[in-house]
Amino acid sequence: MEIPQIKEKLNQYQAQGKKLFTTSSFQTHSLVMLHIISRIDRSIPIYFLNTGYHFPETVAFKDQIAEEFGLNVIETKSSMPRFMQRDQDGKLLFTSDPDHCCYINKTAPTEELLKTYDVWINGVRGDQSAIRKAMQVEQDAPHGTIRFHPMLDWSMKSIFGYIKEHNLPRHPLDAKGYMSIGCEPCTRKMDPEMQEREARWYGLNKVECGLHTDLVKK
């Protein structure tokens, strides 16, 4: 979608009395949507899913962007303390059951947000994975919420073109070879032949955390 179309759609939702929110991982390529929102309505809540496993650079970058863009950033996290997130052998779940770890730390807290809001503004792009390519600009989510995907038809090239045009800051780990940045234990540097999300959960048959598979109404 073009930026005027995004603005018009958000205004339509608000005119209908719908409550809007978005989530962000605060990676470099996440900044385009955040910057657009900051120019439309800075009161829209931006939720940061604090898993407890983020790179320190990500947490610091989140604070920097919140201040620079004037965003209403809110941290949310799992109701289960990290010391309890272990399997029957006492191992932390990210080592033995990363799907369940993602559910506890990302999917479940976000589903709670869906019970409170009407529209989830979500920055997925169709060029990131086959799952995301199959999505629609508007999709139903659990609890009567609408998923709104304004960046669905944007490419990596258009994302970084916008970043360059508006001189947006870059996540500090970009310069160290990271492209898709999630939790520190499950993220590795990119190899030249890898696709964007292949550096996440490297070596596992996993490219999504559940936010974009479980929180879509079937």
Catalytic residues: 209
Beta-carbon contacts of residue 40 (< 8 Å; ≥ 6 apart): 6, 7, 10
C-alpha distances out from residue 150 to 78, 116, 127, 190, Å: 27, 21, 13, 26
β-bridge pairing 138-140 and 146-148: antiparallel
Exposure b/e, 107-134, CB count within 10 A at least 16 = b: bbbbbebbeebbbbbbbbbbbbbeebee
**Residue entry with tokens 């309890």:** 84
Instruction: Report CA dihedral (46, 50, 51, 54) to the nearest 10 degrees.
Output: 100
**Number of Cβ within a 10 Å radius of residue 105:** 25
